[in-house]
Structure 1
Amino acid sequence: MQELLPVNYSTTLSIGFALALCASVVLKFWLASRQMRHVAAHRDAVPAAFAQHISLAAHQRAADYTIAQSRLSVLELAWGAAVLLGWTLLGGLHLLNRQLLQWMDPGLAQQVAVMVGFFVVGSALDLPFALYRTFVLEQRFGFNKTTPRLWLQDFAKSTVLGLVIGLPLVTLIVWMMGSLGASWWLWTWCVWVAFNLLLLWVYPSWIAPWFNQFKPLDNPSLQQRVDALMQRCGFRSQGFYVMDGSKRSAHANAYFTGFGNSKRVVFYDTLLAQLSEAEVDAVLAHELGHFKHRHVPKRMLSMFGLSLVGFALLGWLAQQVWFYTGLGVLPNMDGGNSALALVLFMLVLPLLSTFVAPLLAQFSRQHEFEADAYAVQQANGVDLANALLKLYQDNASTLTPDPVYVRFYYSHPPASERLGRMRSMAAGG
C-alpha cells in the first residue's frame, strides 16, 4: 500500500464519483421519460407498416407493458443510486468491513466474508423489485407462469450454485490478489478467462438441466428442416432440444449455447407453439448467422480484452489509498484490502459503463442486421419477417420506441428498421 497521498486526491475522487453518479441518473431518467412519452403518444394507432399484421389491442398492450417496465426501471434506478451511495460515500462497505473485523481475525476468511456479506445484502436489497417484476408486472400482462414454490426452488438452487461455484472462485481471486505480488492482476485475468470458458462448456449439460427440462426435438418434419439448414450452413451441434420455458414465462425464444463439443440448439416450447415450421427454420437461420459472422467469438474476445484492461486498472487502484478513502472506506492497516478493492471496483464499474453503452448497443444492432441478412440468404425472408412479427406481438414489444432511447439501450434494432431492411433484402432490394 502506498503512503497516504494528499487529501485532495481523495476529495477529487469523491466529487468526481458523485458527479458521475448524478450525470448517470439524470441521463437515465431523461431517457426513460422520453421512452414513456414517445410510446404513450403513439399508443392509439398502429404504425402503417404493421397495420395489416398487428391489431390495435395488441399494439396498446405492448405500449402499456413498455410503459410499466419503464416506470419500474425508474424506481429501480433511484433505489440503485441510493444503495450505491450507501455502500460508498455513506460508509456502508466500511461499516460491513469493520463489523466483520470485530467478529473475525484479519485474513483471507475475513475478506471472503466481506465479499459474501456484500452479495447477500445486495441481493436482499434488490429482492423486492425482482418479486414485483415477476409476480406483479409480468403477472398483470399474462407472462408470468412461475409459482411461489418454483421461485423458491430456483432461489435455493441458485444459492447452492453460488456456494459451490462462486464461493471458491471468489476465494481464489482474493487469495491471488494478496499473494501473487504486483502482477496478480494478469494471473487473475487468466483464471477469469479460463473460468468463463469452462462455464460455457459445462452450462448446457450440467447447470441448465438443473433448472429446466431439455428434451430432444421430436418433430420429424421440423427435425428434417433444421438438419438440412444446418448442413447447408456447415454447422454442427450436439443436438436440438426443446426447453420447458413455459413453466416460468410465456415469453418465447431460441438460442445456441455451449462451447466446443457441447454446442446445442435450444428452442423454447413457447416458440414452437407460436411459429410454423418454416418460421422456426428462419429463426434458426438467423441464429446461425451469428455463428457464420463469428459474432460470438468476437464478443468473447472483446469481453476478455476489456476485462484485461479492467483487471490492470484494478491492480493499480488497489494500491492507491485515495481509491478507498475517496469512496468512503478506510483501508485496513494490515494491508488486507483485496476484498475492499474488488467490491469498490465492482460498484464503480457499472457507473462508468453507462457512458459507453451506446457504442456497445450499436455493435450489437449491427450484428443483428448481419444475422438477418444471412437468414434471408439461407431461408425465406418472408418467413423470418412473419416470425419476428409474431414474436414482437406475443412478447408485447413496442413497435414505437423512442429513437434516442433505442440508440442507448437497444441491443436489437427496432421492428421498423429491422423488418424494413429484411423486406428489402427479400425483394432483392
Structure 2
Amino acid sequence: MHTFTAIFLAALIITVLTRTWLATRHIRYILAHRDRVPENFSSQIKLEIHQKAADYTCAKTRLGYVSLSVETALLLIFTLGGGLNALAAFWSDWLSDPLVHGMALIISAALLMSVVEIPVSYYRTFVIEQQFGFNKMTPRMYFVDLVKRIALGVLLGVPLLFGILWLMEKMGSYWWFYAWLAWMGFNLVVLAIFPTWIAPIFNKFTPLEDAALKERIEQLMRKCGFKSSGLFVMDGSRRSNHGNAYFTGFGKTKRIVFFDTLLSRLDITEIEAVLAHELGHFKRHHVIKRIAWTFAMSLIFLWALGYLMQQPWFYQGLGVSVSSVPSTAMALLLFFLVMPTFTFLFQPLASLYSRKHEFEADKYAADNASAPHLIHALIKLYKDNASTLTPDPLHSAFYDSHPPAAMRIARLENLAHN
C-alpha cells in the first residue's frame, strides 16, 4: 500500500469514528435529560416542548449517520475506487483541450455529489421537518429551489472555475497567490450583490411597514451608528416555521432582514434586543474579522495545493495515476475532496472563535438594548425552533457556532445584574 494511501485511510477512519462517536454521545446525552426541563428554564418551557426539542434534535442527528455514510462512500468511490479516473477518461474521449476537460471533470463530479445528496435532503425536509411541524415547502417548491441553486451555481461558479484553472495553468509557480486574489474579489462581489440580486431569487423581501417597530429600530440604528439600505421582512414562512433575523450585504448594500415568522412571535422590545445583538456583530467588526480569517485560511490552503499538485505521491496515494491527470483540475478536485478529512479535528477552534463573537454580540445587546428582553427573545426562539437545551458539551464544541442555551442565558443574566 502506498504510504499516503495509508495516511489518508487512517485520517478518514479517525474522522468517521470521531463523528460517529460524537453523534452517539449527543443522542445519549439528550435522551438522558429528555424527561426533565433544566432548572433555569423550568418556569418558561413546558416539558412537552423540551421533549419535542430533544426528539427533533435526535432525529436530525440520526440522519447524520446516513449523511456520513454517503459522504464516506462517495469519497472512497471517487478516489481509491477509481471514480475520478473514470470521469477523466470519459471526458478525454470528448474533450482535448486541458482547460475545458478540467472544467468538465470538476462540474460533473460536483453534479454527481449533488444528485447523491438529494435523497437525504429530501428526507430531512419532507419527513423530519414535516413531522415536527416546521416544513411549509411542497415538493414542487423544493425542486424549483434546487434548479435555481444549480442555475445560480453555474452562473457564478463556472466563470470562477474557469478563471482559477486558467491561473493555475498560466501563472507559473505562484499561481496560488493570483488565484487567491481572484477568490477574494469574487467573494466580495457576491457579498455586495447578495441582498439585491441573489436573495430575491428565493424569497420575497418587503419593506418593514410596522411604524412603531420601524421607529424603534431606526432609533437603535442611529444610537449604534449603523447605516443600512433599508429594513426588510422576508417571507420565510413560505418554506419553514423557523424564525430568524440577520443583516447582510457589504458597504452601501447593507440591509437588515427579519423573517416574518420572527416578527409574529416577538414583541417590539424583544425584536429590538435581537437586532441589537446583530448590530453587535457589526460594531465589533465580526464580519470583517471572519472575512479576514476566511481569506487567510484560503491563502494557506491554496499554497498547500500549489505544493501538493507537484507531488506524484499525492495523486498516487489517492488512487489517481499521474499519467492520467489531464490538467491541474484533478489536483484541485482531489484537494477539496480530501481536505475535510484532514481538518475535521480542528473544527472546535472555529466553533470557539464563533462563540466568542456571539458572547461579544450579546454583551453589546445588553449594553445598548436590554439583557432581559434578549433572554426572553432567545427562550421564545429556542421553543419555536425546537432547539435542545441540553446538547452534549463535546458534540456542541465541535458543531455549534453559538454557545449552548444554558451558558448563553447564564451570561446574559449576569450582565443584567451588573
Contact 2:351–2:401, Cα closer than 8 Å, also in 1: yes
Q: Is the 8 A contact 2:5 2:318 kept in 1?
A: yes
SS at match of 1:267: strand
Rounded to whole Å, the distance in 2 between the matches of 1:265 and 1:18 is: 45
Give the one of 115, 118, 137 matched to 1:127.
Answer: 118
SS at match of 2:233: strand
What is the Cα deviation at residue 397 of structure 1? Answer: 0.4
| Deviation digits for residues 331-355 of structure 1 (CA, Å, limit 9, x no counterpart) | 346x742110010011111112201
Amino acid at match of 1:103: W
SS of residue matched to 2:264: helix
Is residue 400 from structure 1 mapped to residue 390 from structure 2 by the alignment? yes
Secondary structure, in 3 states, of the residue corresponding to 1:307? helix
Q: Which moved more, 1:153-162 or 1:397-406?
A: 153-162
Q: Which amino acid aligns with 1:355?
A: L
Question: Secondary structure of 1:274's match?
Answer: coil
Residue 155 of structure 1: how far off its partner (Å): 1.5
Q: Tell me which residue corresponds to 2:168.
A: 177
1:247 maps to which of 238, 247, 257: 238
Q: Which one of the candidate residues 163, 186, 199 is aligned to 2:154?
A: 163
Question: What SS does structure 2 have at the residue aligned with 1:265?
Answer: strand
Q: Find the partner of 1:346 among 336, 346, 358.
A: 336
Taking the aligned partners of 2:310 and 2:330, their CA distance within structure 1 comes to 11
2:265 matched residue in structure 1:
274
Give the number of equivalent residue pairs.
418
Deviation at residue 104 of structure 1 after TM alignment: 2.2
Distance 1:164 1:408 in 2: 33
Write the letter of the residue equivalent to 1:413.
P
The letter of the residue matching 1:268 is F
Q: Match for residue 76 of structure 1? A: 67
1:367 aligned to 344, 357, 371, which one?
357
Q: How does 1:40-59 map to 2 (within 5 A)?
A: 40-59=31-50
Give the 3-state SS of the residue equivalent to 2:321 in structure 1: coil
Distance 2:327 2:94 in 1: 17
Among 383, 391, 399, which residue is 2:381 paired with?
391
- CA deviations on 1:100-120 (whole Å, 9 max, x unpaired) are 112322421111100111111
Give 1:300's aligned amino acid.
I
Say whether the 8 Å CA contact 2:242–2:384 is kept in structure 1: yes
**Do 2:99 and 2:327's aligned partners in 1 also have CA atoms closer than 8 Å?**
no
Shift in Å, 1:282: 0.2
Deviations 1:151-178 (A, max 9, x none): 1221221122122111111111111111
- Give the partner amino acid of 2:203: N
2:53 is aligned to 62
Q: What's 2:105 paired with?
A: 114
Q: TM-score, normalised by structure 2?
A: 0.98
1:414 aligned partner: 404
Task: For residue 396 of structure 1, give the secondary structure of its aligned residue in structure 2.
Answer: coil
Deviation per CA, 1:277-309: give whole Å up to 9, x if none: 110000000011111111111111000000000
- 1:140 and 2:136 aligned: no
Q: Distance in 2 between matches of 1:73 and 1:107?
A: 38
1:423 aligns with: 413
Q: For 2:144, which of 121, 135, 153 is the aligned residue?
A: 153
- Is the contact made by 2:98 and 2:327 (CA closer than 8 Å) also made in structure 1? no
> Structure 2 CA distance, aligned partners of 1:193 and 1:321?
29
- CA–CA separation in structure 1 for the residues paired with 2:150 and 2:395: 35
Secondary structure at 2:232's aligned position in 1? strand
Counterpart CA distance in 2 for 1:403 and 1:153 is 38
Shift of 1:228: 0.6
CA contact (8 A) 2:243 2:259 kept: yes
| Unpaired runs of at least 5, structure 2 | none
CA distance in 1, matches of 2:51, 2:155: 45
Deviation at 1:379, TM superposition (A): 0.6
Identity level (%): 48
Aligned to 1:284: 275
The CA distance in 1 between the partners of 2:89 and 2:378, in whole Å, is: 53
Measured against aligned partners, the alpha-carbon deviations of 1:87-133 in whole angstroms (never above 9, x if no partner) come to: 11111111111111123224211111001111111111111101111
Secondary structure at the residue paired with 1:354?
helix
Alignment partner of 2:256: what SS? strand
- 2:208 maps to 1:217: yes
Instruction: For 1:63 and 1:302, locate their aligned partners in 2 and report how far apart those are by CA, in whole Å.
Output: 34
Q: Which amino acid aligns with 2:124?
A: R
Distance of aligned partners of 1:354 and 1:23 in 2 relative to their CA distance in 1, 3 Å threshold:
same
CA distance in 2, matches of 1:107, 1:293: 46
Question: Retained in 2: the 8 A contact 1:24–1:351?
Answer: yes
Answer with 306-315 or 347-356: which moved more: 347-356
When structure 1 is superposed on structure 2, of 12-21 and 344-353 the one drifting more is 344-353
**TM-score when normalising by structure 1:** 0.96
Query: Aligned AA for 1:174?
Result: L
The reply on whether 1:315 has 2:306 as its aligned counterpart is yes
Aligned 8 A contact 1:331 1:337 in 2: no
What corresponds to 1:3 in structure 2?
A: none
CA distance in 2: counterparts of 1:72 and 1:86, whole angstroms:
21
Q: In 2, Cα distance between the equivalents of 1:238 and 1:32?
A: 42
